[in-house]
Amino acid sequence: MRDRFSKLMMTVAIGTAAVAAISVSTGTSAQAPAEGFVMKTPWGDPDLQGIWTDEASTPLQRSPKYANQEFFTEEQRAELDKARSELLGRDRRVERGTELDVAGAYNAQFVSVKRTGLRTSMIVAPSNGRIPPMTPEAQKTMAADRDFRLALLQSTDTCKNESVACRGGKYDPKPSARRSELSPRYNTARMNRFDNPEDGALPDRCLTLGLPEFGANAGSFRRIVQTPNGVTMFYDVGQGQGWQRNIIMDGRPHLPANIRQWYGDSRGHWEGNTLVIDVTNFSPKTDYQGSRENLHLVERWTRTGPNTVDYQVTIEDPTVWTQAWTAKQEFALQNGKENRIYYEPRCVEGNYGLPGLMRGVRTDERAFAQRKGPDPAKRDIATDFVGVEDDPLQ
């Protein structure tokens, strides 16, 4: 589910100036941190300060076609960059006049891409570059959620036309009785119903998804400011979405278990020149790839050069995955004079979308009741990005 939201975030690309991005040199090596490189604050801590972003595009999971190849060859990167550049501006459509065509407005004409990264996947462990298998329990939970969402779609054209969005489901002209049910667990993703605000995806409700933050296709920015015994990070993930982390550095234990937060609870310490942050206490209303309140992250931030930070995060949730997994990114320092981060997570301030969607559905319901419009259960208000060009990198 998270993947769909990541795509939502692609729309930020407008500001990310595709042309400039494609000409960026990552200027980095794939090697481990340069040995002995140290940059320190005046008070002697390793210095991670500045605005950081991942200037390259790397898929989270490795495509099976690269098997155990951890890095692209230069030729592969060049080919991928060429193929991906050609997608820019292509206005791919699905059948004109359909709901899905309208929903596909954010196609390659709208989004931009960054240059292909060095790695074939962000995931470095396990060594196949893939998220480990889910536990049987988690698989059941995910399947139940999927079945519920497909039931809500079953009487729409999306299923009638056997769109990819209905994969695993089948068309039935009779709306499902499940339309009046709650989703199997607290909803975080868009569904084909808007009876309540809680039927919306978290981003529809201005409840940004949080950690771990990999920046989706268009990237995200994080500013780090340090003080003795304190590290703060402000994330700008585009589209008015952002949040802050104030990392507790004095060694005290995590928050009590009954305090749950959207961005968890971050406890950091220095190991040599690496900032190690342990993150727990996530809210059961968050969802990262199926992981909720039991999500546990261990992040490692290491300055590797004047303009680079190596970021690694180990992601663990024994209730969801059969083993922990680790992803890696390399961040590039941004020009500190150019004010290229937006501090305002302003979203609810301009959220005409959520009330507009709900009001639209209430209007449809009234029209249907008066026999002046179609059955809202037969319309698809949930599916998007159908018809979007497939990025050959993903």
Partner 1 sequence: MADRFLPAMILVGVAAAAVGAVVTFAVMRAPAAAPTTSATATPATIEGKPNFSGIWQANNEANWDLQAHAARPAAVTQQGIYPYDYARVPAAPVLALGAAGAVPGSLGVVQGDGEIPYKPEALARKQENAANWIDRDPELKCYLPGLPRAMYMPHPFQITQSTNKIHVAYSFTNTARTIHLDEVDGPPDDAWMGHSVGHWEGDTLVVNVTNFNDRSWFDRAGNYHSAMLKLTERFTKKSPDVIWYEVTIEDPEVYTRPWTIAMPLYRRAEPNMQLLEFRCNEFVEEFMYGSLRKEQLVRRWDGEMMSVEITRKIPEGDRFYEWYSK
In the range 149-208, which residues lie near partner 1 by CB under 8 A?
190, 195-197, 200, 203-207
**Least CB distance to partner 1 at residue 29 (A):** 16
Both tokens of residue 381?
């208000």
Residue selected from 99, 310, 364, 391 as contacting partner 1 according to rule CB under 8 A? 99
Query: Would you say 118 or 357 has its CB closer to partner 1?
Result: 357
Phi-psi region of 15 (alpha: psi -120 to 50; beta: other; left: phi over 0): alpha
Which span sits near partner 1 by CB under 8 A: 84-92, 120-128, 310-318, 357-365?
A: 357-365
- Residues 6-35 close enough to bind partner 1 by CB under 8 A: 8, 11-12, 14-17, 20-21, 24-25, 27, 35
Query: With binding defined as CB under 8 A, does residue 88 bind partner 1?
Result: no
When asked if residue 272 is in the footprint of partner 1 (CB under 8 A), the reply is: yes
356 touching partner 1, by CB under 8 A: yes
Total residues in contact with partner 1, by rule CB under 8 A: 115
Q: CB-wise, 71 or 270, nearer to partner 1?
A: 270
Least gap, CB of 7 to partner 1 (angstroms): 10
| CA distance linking residue 321 with residue 318, whole number of Å | 5
DSSP 8-class letter at 71? B
> Given the rule CB under 8 A, which of 121-129, 139-147, 258-266, 290-298 is the region that contacts partner 1?
258-266
Mapping DSSP to helix (H, G, I), strand (E, B) and coil, where does residue 328 land?
strand
On the 0-12 / 13-18 / 19+ scale of CB atoms within 10 A, 305 is: middle
CB of 343 to partner 1, least distance (A): 5
Token pair in block for residue 35: 């040995």
368 binds partner 1 (CB under 8 A): no
Q: Does 1 bind partner 1 (CB under 8 A)?
A: no
d(CA 192, CA 388): 20
Report the alpha-carbon distance of residue 284 to residue 183 in Å, rounded.
14
Length of the chain in terms of residues written: 394
CA distance 243 to 210: 8
161 to each of 105, 157, 170, 172, how far by Cα in Å?
A: 19, 6, 10, 12
Residue 123 near residue 327 (C-beta atoms within 8 A): yes
Cα–Cα distance, 56 to 258 (Å, whole number): 39
Closest approach, Cβ 126 to partner 1, in A, equals 28
Choose the stretch contacting partner 1; rule: CB under 8 A; options: 58-66, 130-138, 228-236, 311-319: 228-236
The yes or no reply on residue 284 touching partner 1 (CB under 8 A) is: no
Confirm or reject binding of residue 73 to partner 1 (CB under 8 A): no
Q: Are 335 and 316 in contact (CB under 8 A)?
A: no
- At closest approach, how far in Å is the CB of 28 from partner 1? 11
Which range, of 88-96, 166-174, 220-228, 310-318, touches partner 1 by CB under 8 A?
Answer: 220-228
How open is the CA angle 192-196-197, to the nearest 5 degrees?
A: 95
Q: Which one of 1, 28, 46, 213 is in contact with partner 1 (CB under 8 A)?
A: 46
Contact status: 357 vs partner 1 (CB under 8 A): yes
Among 66, 171, 342, 368, binds partner 1 (CB under 8 A): 342
| DSSP run (H or E) holding 306 | none
Q: Which is nearer to partner 1, 74 or 338 (CB)?
A: 338
Dihedrals φ, ψ of 313, to 5°? -135, 130
